[in-house]
């Protein structure tokens, strides 16, 4: 990676080991803070409902609001990181994230809270692609990049798991508002560290107008799709209308992307690789499915088992340990096995965990053995995320790593929000079946489908045909 003056040419590479370690620490901490906020509300929803006056049907909106902002803006955030440089993108994104957290903490009612959650997602969406792109640039050696990406993904999973554990403790001991306010001092500590990062050069091809029309189409269509799925459970006609607008917008976005080619917000060449396309779909189902599953499972633990937020958070502690262990194991397995083998194994482990929960159903209460299938679900998702993250940026030019990582992370958030909305809608339609059973069975089916996609889509490319032998020499010794 090279450093550049804010308006000047590229300077010498920043290779000092001490500075590199500090840079990685700041980047991993940023990833951790953002990912914590994605799940910290899950186990504290009942307390948040009472403090902010949320209706029962608005509970999922606290999670989905963050995912809408995060998933809809993520791709624009990735291109922004490529265009203006990761350091500027990171500093602005973390500042917005802190301001949105303050708005959530001081909100006087549900709509202000939901607005703040969307803005938190926007800030996180601008930060995460810049983090992954900077980590990739700081690790030009493939082996070093694999280790760095594995560590970064571990911080993501630790953040998501820490949110599940810490959210309940913070809500009960400090109050529901501190679930959001706790981010403010953390972000203020990170800002000077991020400003001290070496700047990565901007992509000259991306420094022009950021495809404003495509950005508008993409963000509004994704937001409309997710919002329509959320609204349709409570108000079918308005929800269906918003969902239809989202589908039309998505079709227009695909058309605009094809016409623009590599000048598109998401360059067509980025999606030309079959393995990368399959990886994006698999991560949407596995990571997104685990988010949706844990939403339903934590409600089961609190409502059916009568545990409070803090006890629910502690209940998920073995799940967090399983995620961390699987992340470490995944990095080691990649040294010996093809990434397809690791991903398929992860999908099957997650599917088995979901089937176990569906069969048991928590009917026997919160016995310790029920933690095992939850840990299997988390471990399977963790096994998938590291190889898919490495594949997402493998072979991508430095000026495109931001948008490549943005598509990956957006897939997780959009997949989680879509699967949560879809399973909630399906559970409402099948009123005679317990909601958690319907949701878990549906998620088990789509996770099994992801294993099939990984098996076929992540296959190594066919070997190139051998070159044709040269023609025999002509008589007289001339070729």
Tokens 């900077």 found at: 134
Question: C-alpha angle 229/280/350, rounded to 5°?
Answer: 80
Q: Write out the H or E segment, with its range, that includes residue 12.
A: strand 10-13
Q: Write out the H or E segment, with its range, that includes residue 4.
A: strand 2-4
Mean of the pLDDT values across residues 432-454? 82
pLDDT in tens, 158-202: 777 777 777 878 888 888 899 999 999 999 999 998 888 777 655
Q: What is the pLDDT of residue 255?
A: 82
Q: How confident is the model at residue 8 (pLDDT cuts 50, 70, 90)?
A: very low
Q: Write out the H or E segment, with its range, that includes residue 110.
A: helix 110-137
Q: What are phi and psi of 464, to 5 degrees?
A: -65, 145
pLDDT at 380 over 60: yes
348: nearest Cα among 455, 251, 250: 455
Contacts of 432 (CB under 8 A, 6+ apart): none
| The 3-state secondary structure of 359-419, one letter per residue | HHCCCCCCCHHHHHHHHHHHHHHHHHHHHHHHHHHCCCCHHHHHHHHHHHHHHHHHHHHHH
Q: Could you give the percent of the chain with pLDDT greater than 70?
A: 82
CA distance 224 to 72: 9
CA distance 391 to 460: 12
Q: Where are the domains of the chain?
A: 13-202+265-457, 211-264
CA distance 19 to 28: 14
Collapsed DSSP state (helix, strand, coil) of residue 11: strand
pLDDT in tens, 391-413: 777 777 766 766 777 788 778 87
CA distance 47 to 455: 43
| Length of the chain, in residues | 479
Q: Are the C-beta atoms of 230 and 62 separated by less than 8 Å? A: no
Residue 47: both structure tokens together: 């307390």
CA distance 164 to 107: 22
Task: Please state whether the predicted TM-score (pTM) of the whole model is above 0.85.
Answer: no
pLDDT at 428 over 60: yes
Tokens 């598509």 found at: 407
CA distance 406 to 235: 32
Q: How confident is the model at residue 276 (pLDDT cuts 50, 70, 90)?
A: confident
Candidate CATH numbers 3.10.20.30, 1.10.1760.20, 3.40.50.12710, 1.20.1250.20; the one for domain 13-202+265-457: 1.20.1250.20
CA distance 39 to 282: 20
Contacts of 13 (CB under 8 A, 6+ apart): 1, 2, 3
Q: Which is higher by pLDDT, 367 or 47?
A: 47
Q: Which is higher by pLDDT, 198 or 212?
A: 198
């Amino acid at each position: 990676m090279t450093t550049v003056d804010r308006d000047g040419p590229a300077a010498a590479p920043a290779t000092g080991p001490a500075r590199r370690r500090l840079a990685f620490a700041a980047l991993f901490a940023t990833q951790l803070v953002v990912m914590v906020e994605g799940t910290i509300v899950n186990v504290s929803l009942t307390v948040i409902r009472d403090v902010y006056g949320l209706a029962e049907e608005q509970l999922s909106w606290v999670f989905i609001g963050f995912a809408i902002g995060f998933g809809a803006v993520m791709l624009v955030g990735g291109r922004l990181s490529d265009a203006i440089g990761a350091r500027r993108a990171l500093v602005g994104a973390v500042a917005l994230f802190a301001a949105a957290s303050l708005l959530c903490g001081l909100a006087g009612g549900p709509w202000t809270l939901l607005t703040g959650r969307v803005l938190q997602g926007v800030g996180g969406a601008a930060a995460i692609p810049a983090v992954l792109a900077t980590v990739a640039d700081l690790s030009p050696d493939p082996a070093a990049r694999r280790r760095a990406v594995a560590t970064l993904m571990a911080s993501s999973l630790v953040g998501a798991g820490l949110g599940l554990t810490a959210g309940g403790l913070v809500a009960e001991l400090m109050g529901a508002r501190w679930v959001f306010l706790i981010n403010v001092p953390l972000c203020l500590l990170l800002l000077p560290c991020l400003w001290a990062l070496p700047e990565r050069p901007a992509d000259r091809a991306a420094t022009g107008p950021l495809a404003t029309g495509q950005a508008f189409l993409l963000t509004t269509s994704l937001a409309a799709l997710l919002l329509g799925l959320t609204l349709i459970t409570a108000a079918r006609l308005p929800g269906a209308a918003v969902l239809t607008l989202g589908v039309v917008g998505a079709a227009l976005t695909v058309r605009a992307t094809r016409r623009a080619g590599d000048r598109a917000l998401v360059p067509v060449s980025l999606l030309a690789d079959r393995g990368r396309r399959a990886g994006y779909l698999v991560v949407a189902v596995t990571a997104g499915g685990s988010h949706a599953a844990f939403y339903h499972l934590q409600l089961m633990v609190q409502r059916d088992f009568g545990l409070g937020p803090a006890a629910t958070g502690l209940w998920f502690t073995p799940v967090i340990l399983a995620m961390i262990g699987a992340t470490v194991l995944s990095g080691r397995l990649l040294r010996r096995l093809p990434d397809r083998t690791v991903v398929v194994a992860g999908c099957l482990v997650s599917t088995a965990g979901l089937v176990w929960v569906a069969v048991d159903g928590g009917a026997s209460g919160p016995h310790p053995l029920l933690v095992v299938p939850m840990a299997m679900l988390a471990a399977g998702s963790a096994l998938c995320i590291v190889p898919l993250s490495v594949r997402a940026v493998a072979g991508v030019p430095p000026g495109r790593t931001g948008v490549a990582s943005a598509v990956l992370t957006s897939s997780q958030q959009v997949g989680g929000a879509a699967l949560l909305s879809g399973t909630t809608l399906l559970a409402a339609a099948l009123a005679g079946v317990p909601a958690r059973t319907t949701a878990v069975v549906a998620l088990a089916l789509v996770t099994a489908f992801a294993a099939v996609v990984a098996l076929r889509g992540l296959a190594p490319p066919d070997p190139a045909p051998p070159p044709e032998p040269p023609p025999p020499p002509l008589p007289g010794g001339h070729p």
